[in-house]
Amino acid sequence: MATAYVSKRFPVGFQPKTEDAIQNGSLALASTMSAIAENQHWLGMGDLDLVNFHQGLDIEGPVGALSNLWNGLTYPKTLTLNIPPFHQYAAFHFLVCRDYLLASPTLSGNGIKIECATSTSYINNITFGEDFASTAKPAFDISNFGWVHAATISETAVTGEQSALKLNSTASETWTTVDVTITLGTGVYCLAAAYHLLPNQAGYTVTV
């Protein structure tokens, strides 16, 4: 077995070769072949998704109501991630607000729960918020919303607070899909949400 490595060029990654470098009569350089192989490596393993998967409806509009936002009283959302070969981690980002009328978001003590078959991550540092019940100010103020993240990769802590979600315990040689379910705690309102796949970390190796 041999060990593949993750290019230190990540996330810049791709290093184009122009056709001028590959002309008749040119030398068959190992460096040219190496560059092509590395670029294939980036296209297969380093060209990672960034997807905004949720867009809340305007709650002030004609169809608007606070309940139109994804919140802790609605059902969990399950989305599908397409992950490339030998890939393992995804970071999640939420534009959220917390209702200050509640002492703390309640989801077993956590604000947002992100889970798949392999691991579970939590976000419980939602410090943004407003008093939705107050009549003294508008029911909806986007300035009170802020982004929270689950994006930290730890070699040891697969499950934990604010960790990127580990999607696979065993890296696949092909493109695969993983379903991820997200649950908001009571009092948490989500206006928008996104995920992006994280490049494998320096030192991360795969056996081929």
Partner 1 sequence: MANNQDAAGKFRPFIESDFKPHTYIRSGNDTVHYYKGVRDMAYNNNTLMARAKHPIINQVDSPQTATTIAGTTSPLAFAHYVVWTPSIPGRDTIDVTVTATCPGVRFQVRGVTPAGTGSYSAASSVGGSTVTCVVPVTTGTFQAMTLEFKLSAGGNFLPTKIYSVQTDISTTDIGTTANTRFVPQDSTQQYAIDQPFTVDMVRDLNKTNNNLFSRNIRCVHNWSFWGDWTSVISSNKGISRAYTADTANKVHVSQLYYLPRPGVTRLVVFMAGRTHNYGATAGESWITFDDETFGGGNFTTATTVTTSGSWAVWQSDIDVPTGVTGPLLLNLSMKTPGVGTTTCLQSLSIWEDPNTVKI
Q: Which of residues 119-158 bind partner 1 (CB under 8 A)?
A: 142-143, 145, 147
Helices vs strands, H then E, count in the chain? 1, 14
73 vs 157 by CB, closer to partner 1: 73
Q: Which two tokens stand for residue 81?
A: 């991630």
Shortest distance (Å) from residue 167 CB to partner 1: 14
Cα–Cα distances (Å) from 111 to 24, 37, 108, 151, in that order, read 61, 43, 8, 15
Cα–Cα distances (Å) from 60 to 11, 56, 139, 177, 192, in that order, read 40, 11, 8, 36, 16
22 vs 157 by CB, closer to partner 1: 22
Q: Does residue 108 interact with partner 1 by CB under 8 A?
A: no
Side-chain half-sphere exposure of 60, counting CA atoms within 13 A: 5
Contacts with partner 1 in 76-95 (CB under 8 A)?
76-80, 82, 84-86, 93, 95
Site string for partner 1, 33-52 (x = CB under 8 A): xx-xxxxxx-xxx-x-xxxx
Among 55, 125, 154, 201, binds partner 1 (CB under 8 A): 55
Taking the C-alpha atoms of residue 95 and residue 55, their distance in angstroms, rounded to an integer, is 10
60 vs 131 by CB, closer to partner 1: 60
Shortest distance (Å) from residue 97 CB to partner 1: 12
122 vs 195 by CB, closer to partner 1: 195
Per DSSP, 51 falls in state E
E strand or H helix at 35: helix 30-41
Q: Which two tokens stand for residue 15?
A: 């290093």
Taking the C-alpha atoms of residue 134 and residue 120, their distance in angstroms, rounded to an integer, is 35
Shortest distance (Å) from residue 179 CB to partner 1: 10
30 vs 136 by CB, closer to partner 1: 30
Site string for partner 1, 14-33 (x = CB under 8 A): x-xxxx--xxxxx-x-xxxx
Among 73, 117, 133, 202, binds partner 1 (CB under 8 A): 73
Q: Please list the residues that pair with 138 across neighbouring strands.
A: none
